[in-house]
Amino acid sequence: MVIKTSTGMQKNFFSKTLLSAILGIGLIAPTSAKAKNIAVGLRGGSAGIGGEVTISLLSKLNFRSGMNFFSYDGSGMESETEYDYTVKLRLVPLLLDYYPFDNGFKVTSGVFINNSKVTGVAQPEGLVLDIGGIEYEILSIGDVNGKIDFWKASPYLGIGWGNALSKGSPVKVTVDLGVLFQGKPNVTLEPTIDTSLIPGFDDSLEKETADLKKDLEYLQCYPVISLGVAYSF
């Protein structure tokens, strides 16, 4: 299966979004020359790996954004059909960290610009492919390609420890634990050959799509665990 994606367009979109957010928030950030108002760093975890920027808004409130990327390939059985798949995490967090105490504990809320997706292809058993519980000859339907994506703006709520802009050493380690609410997955399945003349195939494809959506409902609440290292100045 070959699925074309415009990596350049995605990176351009991410870059423009992050730059606009940082510039907009930066205009209202404190401007004291002695205070630690900005930190840059790296973060890695279940939402991917990437860089981030933290900007102080108030004494107990920070704005944080960045870019998270990660890709991997795998295979698995879903709705009684085996799929080879590729997962691409593409996330831009826009978050507010609130520190109610002075011990580094924080409550985080915000939204992730979510361009993550899963693409894959259904694998035949010999010369037949099970679609919606019915076997079809692979020569008559070709490959069946799939795509899964989510809400483009996915709310986030979490807690964590560590403040990249706190007093002391300019190097800080932070931890985040939370949930990304990305909605029920959008699933599309498409054969590579015209199947309009195959009796019942459209119904089988619709059933396969519905079964796949049900099997993947657990992804609508995606756990986010991450570790970050930041340098403030």
Find the CATH number of the domain harbouring 42. 2.40.160.170
81 within a domain of the structure (yes/no): no
Which residues pair with residue 112 across a beta bridge?
93, 154
Contact 105, 159 (CB under 8 A): yes
pLDDT, residue 79, reads 66
pLDDT, residue 217, reads 93
203 within a domain of the structure (yes/no): yes
Domain that holds residue 224: 7-73+86-116+145-232
Residue 198 class from Cβ within 10 Å (0-12 exposed, 13-18 middle, 19+ buried)? middle
pLDDT, residue 150, reads 96
Longest dimension (CA), the chain: 74
123 within a domain of the structure (yes/no): no
User: Residue 26: which region, alpha, beta or left (left: phi > 0; alpha: psi -120 to 50)?
Assistant: alpha
212 within a domain of the structure (yes/no): yes
**In a structure prediction context, what are the per-residue pLDDT tens digits for the chain, which is 233 residues long?**
333 334 444 444 444 444 454 444 444 444 433 457 999 999 999 999 999 999 999 999 999 999 999 999 998 887 678 889 999 999 999 999 999 999 999 999 999 999 999 999 988 888 899 899 899 998 899 889 999 999 999 999 999 999 999 999 999 999 999 999 999 999 999 999 999 899 999 999 999 999 999 999 999 999 999 999 999 98
pLDDT, residue 77, reads 80
Overall domain count for the chain? 1
Q: First CA to last CA across the chain, in angstroms?
A: 48
Contact 130, 81 (CB under 8 A): yes
90 within a domain of the structure (yes/no): yes
133 within a domain of the structure (yes/no): no
224 within a domain of the structure (yes/no): yes
132 within a domain of the structure (yes/no): no
